[in-house]
Structure 1
């Protein structure tokens, strides 16, 4: 019947499984009288099916300890609808029933008119709630601009509330019958089960499904990525800072061959080095912006978004945008240098090594999510072992010229969208479209200097302290913990565990906290942990510190409470 299924055995967590039903149909396939009904249908599948009428579905989920949200969920997007379950595996009957839930969702929804009418108000309230928060209001304006003059901008999943309120029952049934069919479905199962047994169960229940005698052709829709530059300025009373986003719409890269993996690595190295430079600018004195970053996200229809974002103080968004673009211009003019690339490669390799070392601890939900994504975008799902093997081979041969060439993706202004959003205040004037366009024109004509970088030390400490004798040592048998009292009076408790591979956790606490300070010092005491986190160590500022530790798998933090202060950290065994 054309249904795909994916099975992965995984023991984290024990005696649990993640199940997903993927429907390759979303709001973009709605007819003109169905706007919002793909999402409406998602809601309705929780309101009764053939084998779980009325509230029996919810009752079953609750009796086996599942809760809507953490264990049972669903979402509707432009191109897909996905349903997920987390189930216990201690009872074979529960597994069988859970698979029956997926089958019922796939083909046996009740779509009872009474329940449909009840659900209309739920969806309208969901729509209203979105408009009551700043993100919802911004998205209502940004998404149409992002997707341009395409079917996607006319088919937002939340839909048209007039249709949601008044659509005939037949319209909902029509979408279900037309698009919920085996050749547009996939089942994903990841968990602590026997693969052969799970496969047999899936084949048994899903092979009974059949496609309609006449299947509708699934039309492919497109998003333009070569349109003239566009500008959008938005204000909202709930925004507290000004933000600018520059989006370059480009054809999405494939990920199915070794060369694709190499290209993805090179692109990732470019992104990391650019973000480090932008981070460094936030610590300059004066800093040209509060925060800036670069990343890549998927839109739809084989198009991705190369995103630059910058936050500024009120009234400074234009200069902040200029500073961010000037840094991109510097990269385009001179590229990155060998030292930057070496650190980025070392950091990437360390991350692949950590993922491989902790492969037994990855949770089933993460694997399931990855399989859903690869099924939908047609890419290849790779194991941690394969990722590490390829990274070890390819990182050595990726050269600086290749990485620097990714700045060419921003050389063409076609497909560029510039968004500026800020607080709705009488005394705050945001740049208009003409002024934003001039920022880009001016950047093309400025002369930027080549990036200057200080020499970075290879290690934090040149003189390693010698070990000191401890005052006492005892083994606490009931906890299997070693208790050591150091010469300076610090109590040290050491316990060996196998909870997570290649991980060492450290925590330290002392009594005191903000309560020991005068009232006049309370605010400073309350903020000190954040200040320390943004500070360097010894003679190294934070930017230098991050570069020195680029290839290390570690983190360190400090905290202060009312009655105590503490330190915490984690690392691989090699970086303790």
Structure 2
């Protein structure tokens, strides 16, 4: 479970079509760029948006709201949510942190599930704690999520009883409260105790104008968490966990009427408290004029500026606000494109920039401009960013930009509409949750499809060009400057920063849109021939071998209507580069992949693809090189053209090379200030036995790299198609794809080198080793314990290690979190590989106080010793088997699983049909097998301990 920490507005996500106000529509013909905008017609009174007819919405006599929808993606599964209009904003001074603490206590004892019985019961039913079973607390709401199987009527029905227990019957046992104090304090430590938290504590009171929101962070006050009594938290629960502030959301593969009756029976008996407190709607008062806040921290590695202009929130409820939200998304897209284009210069003016209008907090929207500067170059970064917003305000957008933005929206809209019968239940739950919490409309995809199809082309440049003027203002404005403490004297004062902003737009000229009308490829290449074709009826694949030696494995599915995943690989990778040339080789794929293709630079390529549902990226790993792509059936040929061009006509762009090298140098400058980065760099170095290929690059290595070496290495890696295997998974007909495969893959050059990778022996060192890094101001320690060794890769061993991983996760959660109350979220990750050589690593990791490091390491080793001596308990084995069986059932209906699985089976030379026996193979896991596996692979003979401790005082 987690709470929503209020982050710096730099982390506000900017994405086009991210809300439910975007359904899918067919692209309509776009007007010629020469077409003049048409004057707006007579204003039509906005009408309320309808409610999706496929969701049943009701309210019980006690005020509890419910949303129920039948949905079969995924099959035999349901998402059950309890949404409570209760968050940290409603806490009294004595309750700070108890909204979030209440969420924790819901998992630590209710009327029908004392202590930890609830988690134990759900794990045995195949629900994984943390990954599936979860919750979060924010300022204004608390949300519990419970994904359940519906093929077990008992488990499914009992899920509503669990929600009812959370809604009205949490026990708040005093002993359980005391045990959980440490867990919540450790959650605060794990998520905070860093530069970002310290900077937020300085800047949030300014952004939130010292309102109650600024003093009600969901994690609360440490002094309260340590000392509150049961009566205080019961009072919060009594006042605010009441049915007229609650909603049950159920979406999944079930009978709607049956679920409605279950809800009436389970929740109808909940009552509202007598003399209930009013649910006050708190606000953030506007700030007259502009407020500037400069904040620094010793461990913050960047210098950034944020300009936040706050506006009243506009909730999408009618056609007018719906159209406004669409215009805002178009605006955000075009601003993002302009700012991203500047990163393609040989000397980019900043490391990162974004300007967008989006929701902020407390019924506020904001136009937020954010820029992260290169070290010592804040003035240029700020002026460049502000100049771009001023350019938009003064001159607006071009018609070609707007049409491209519309096409980008329409691609996503079309994709979602095409997937309307394959939409995941969790997507609907999120929409209904927003409807309950904020009143955002849920008109349904059929309405949205028709509405956007009819209205998007009514939006002209005149409509868009007024938005910047509406968004940008010097009223209710906050300017934040954040930087490293060591650069405090170099940061601008209030007068200087205001001067930069006020003069940044002087002399700007209208944006010039550099577009091309040339086709991606002038003509199709001469096709190669398919020389063999075999089918695997068991898993439904067809394997083609082409004349040039390339192999294609095709698995047509109906899991998604508008998705085709393409992946290709061949062995070699950077293992074939010398140490001297490694840095150039390692940069080759990201540089070439960001340089455009053939005669088109990256900006031109991006604009050409704006109206297409296609993404293609080349990669070079340590042992392989290849292509990753996803597309729709409609744009499949474009994806294949791009793949062909990345093989045959990669683009050499000096500006992109210089820009990337410049950006990397800037990032390295202050990397040593951040404790997490220093620790991770040490981890990488130690676990690779200090091999330079696995360590963060140095300035010396960066300076020795060259574009010529990178470009030539890339061309060499993609010069021989004979070693490549491609997988195609998605909605297609094999016979339809064959001509494209023959044309664009069969025509690729082939030299029949039959290359392999080199095993460079990069792995954790043998023996026992402890490495401690002392870095950080706060009392926050991080521990990794890494077991490693040689490994015989096969299905039997793999299953046993998978089981060991989950059993260890269960045991360490019980011991380190529940019993010791010393960590928030301990984790175990076991990985194994066949190539370049058979190796495994088992990593145990957690965050804790520095005083508890030795104790928790000892407790971990004690649990390992018990496992070696006794094996796993039958109950823990049952939990793993249930979770693995249910997750496998879901994965077998997902394109992304098959894309990864078929590629992995090919690389490891495995029989792909083995996946069909996976669930039955789980019977191999026994108490004795877990005992033997733990003894063999958690052997302390090879144990590396990596510890991050705060700086010594």
Look up the match of 1:70.
131
User: Structure 1 residues 464-473 or 548-557, which shifts more?
Assistant: 464-473
Distance 1:480 1:313 in 2: 52
Distance 1:475 1:67 in 2: 36
* Alignment equivalent of 2:166, drawn from 94, 101, 105: 105
Q: Superposition pairs for residues 198-213 of structure 1, below 5 Å?
A: 198-213=259-274
Distance 1:110 1:476 in 2: 55
CA contact (8 A) 1:554 1:571 kept: yes
Look up the match of 2:297.
236
Q: Over alpha carbons, which structure has the higher Rg? A: 2
Distance 1:493 1:230 in 2: 60
* Alignment equivalent of 1:496, drawn from 556, 564, 570: 556
The answer to whether structure 1 residue 322 and structure 2 residue 386 are counterparts is no
In structure 2, the CA distance between the partners of 1:568 and 1:411, relative to structure 1 (3 Å rule), is closer
In structure 2, the CA distance between the partners of 1:4 and 1:512, relative to structure 1 (3 Å rule), is same
Q: Secondary structure at the match of 1:527?
A: helix
Deviations 1:228-282 (A, max 9, x none): 2112222233333222222111111121112221111111111111110011111
In structure 2, the CA distance between the partners of 1:470 and 1:259, relative to structure 1 (3 Å rule), is same
User: Structure 1 residues 44-53 or 476-485, which shifts more?
Assistant: 476-485
In structure 2, the CA distance between the partners of 1:135 and 1:567, relative to structure 1 (3 Å rule), is same
Distance 2:592 2:601 in 1: 11
User: Structure 1 residues 136-145 or 187-196, which shifts more?
Assistant: 136-145
* Alignment equivalent of 1:170, drawn from 214, 228, 231: 231
CA contact (8 A) 2:515 2:607 kept: no
Distance 1:543 1:362 in 2: 32
| Runs of at least 5 residues in structure 1 that lack an aligned partner in the other structure | none
1:330, distance to aligned residue in structure 2 (A)? 0.6
Distance 1:41 1:511 in 2: 52
Q: Secondary structure at the match of 2:421?
A: helix
* Alignment equivalent of 1:413, drawn from 466, 469, 474: 474
Look up the match of 2:613.
553
Q: Secondary structure at the match of 2:596?
A: coil
Distance 1:495 1:107 in 2: 49
Q: Superposition pairs for residues 215-254 of structure 1, below 5 Å?
A: 215-254=276-315
Look up the match of 1:526.
586
* Alignment equivalent of 2:571, drawn from 485, 494, 511: 511
Q: Secondary structure at the match of 1:193?
A: coil
The answer to whether structure 1 residue 153 and structure 2 residue 220 are counterparts is no
The answer to whether structure 1 residue 562 and structure 2 residue 622 are counterparts is yes
Q: Secondary structure at the match of 2:436?
A: helix
1:334, distance to aligned residue in structure 2 (A)? 0.5
Distance 2:231 2:518 in 1: 69
CA contact (8 A) 2:382 2:501 kept: no
1:401, distance to aligned residue in structure 2 (A)? 0.9
| Runs of at least 5 residues in structure 2 that lack an aligned partner in the other structure | 1-61, 637-953
Q: Secondary structure at the match of 1:244?
A: strand
Deviations 1:193-229 (A, max 9, x none): 1111111101111111111222111122111234321
* Alignment equivalent of 1:293, drawn from 341, 354, 361: 354
Look up the match of 2:202.
141
Look up the match of 1:441.
502
Look up the match of 1:484.
544
Distance 2:383 2:195 in 1: 26
CA contact (8 A) 1:314 1:428 kept: no
The answer to whether structure 1 residue 370 and structure 2 residue 421 are counterparts is no
1:456, distance to aligned residue in structure 2 (A)? 2.0
Distance 1:329 1:426 in 2: 28
* Alignment equivalent of 2:337, drawn from 260, 276, 295: 276
CA contact (8 A) 1:458 1:548 kept: no
1:477, distance to aligned residue in structure 2 (A)? 4.5
Look up the match of 2:595.
535
User: Structure 1 residues 17-26 or 365-374, which shifts more?
Assistant: 365-374
Deviations 1:354-389 (A, max 9, x none): 111122332212221221122111111233333222
Look up the match of 2:815.
none
Q: Superposition pairs for residues 247-266 of structure 1, below 5 Å?
A: 247-266=308-327
* Alignment equivalent of 2:75, drawn from 7, 14, 18: 14
CA contact (8 A) 1:22 1:81 kept: yes
CA contact (8 A) 2:400 2:513 kept: no
Q: Secondary structure at the match of 1:266?
A: helix
1:478, distance to aligned residue in structure 2 (A)? 4.8
Q: Secondary structure at the match of 1:524?
A: helix
CA contact (8 A) 1:225 1:303 kept: no
Look up the match of 2:656.
none
In structure 2, the CA distance between the partners of 1:427 and 1:147, relative to structure 1 (3 Å rule), is closer
CA contact (8 A) 2:617 2:628 kept: yes
Deviations 1:74-114 (A, max 9, x none): 11111111111111112111122211111111111111122
1:519, distance to aligned residue in structure 2 (A)? 1.9
Distance 2:439 2:379 in 1: 40
* Alignment equivalent of 1:25, drawn from 75, 79, 86: 86
In structure 2, the CA distance between the partners of 1:297 and 1:68, relative to structure 1 (3 Å rule), is farther
The answer to whether structure 1 residue 353 and structure 2 residue 414 are counterparts is yes
Distance 2:191 2:629 in 1: 38
CA contact (8 A) 2:81 2:248 kept: yes
The answer to whether structure 1 residue 387 and structure 2 residue 452 are counterparts is no
Distance 1:436 1:504 in 2: 49
* Alignment equivalent of 1:461, drawn from 521, 526, 533: 521
User: Structure 1 residues 393-402 or 293-302, which shifts more?
Assistant: 293-302
1:187, distance to aligned residue in structure 2 (A)? 0.7
In structure 2, the CA distance between the partners of 1:52 and 1:480, relative to structure 1 (3 Å rule), is closer
Look up the match of 1:336.
397
CA contact (8 A) 2:328 2:357 kept: no
In structure 2, the CA distance between the partners of 1:217 and 1:481, relative to structure 1 (3 Å rule), is closer
CA contact (8 A) 1:242 1:311 kept: yes
User: Structure 1 residues 434-443 or 392-401, which shifts more?
Assistant: 434-443
User: Structure 1 residues 452-461 or 152-161, which shifts more?
Assistant: 452-461
TM-score, length-normalised on structure 1?
A: 0.96
CA contact (8 A) 1:344 1:550 kept: yes
Q: Secondary structure at the match of 1:539?
A: coil
Distance 2:592 2:422 in 1: 32
Deviations 1:383-410 (A, max 9, x none): 3333222211111111111111110233
Deviations 1:23-79 (A, max 9, x none): 111111112221221112111111101111112112212221222211111111111
Look up the match of 2:141.
80
- Aligned CA RMSD, in angstroms, stands at 1.9
CA contact (8 A) 2:614 2:632 kept: yes
Distance 1:131 1:474 in 2: 55
CA contact (8 A) 2:419 2:560 kept: yes
1:337, distance to aligned residue in structure 2 (A)? 0.8
TM-score, length-normalised on structure 2?
A: 0.59
CA contact (8 A) 2:354 2:369 kept: yes
Deviations 1:308-333 (A, max 9, x none): 21122101122101100001111111
1:466, distance to aligned residue in structure 2 (A)? 4.5
CA contact (8 A) 1:148 1:224 kept: yes
Look up the match of 2:796.
none
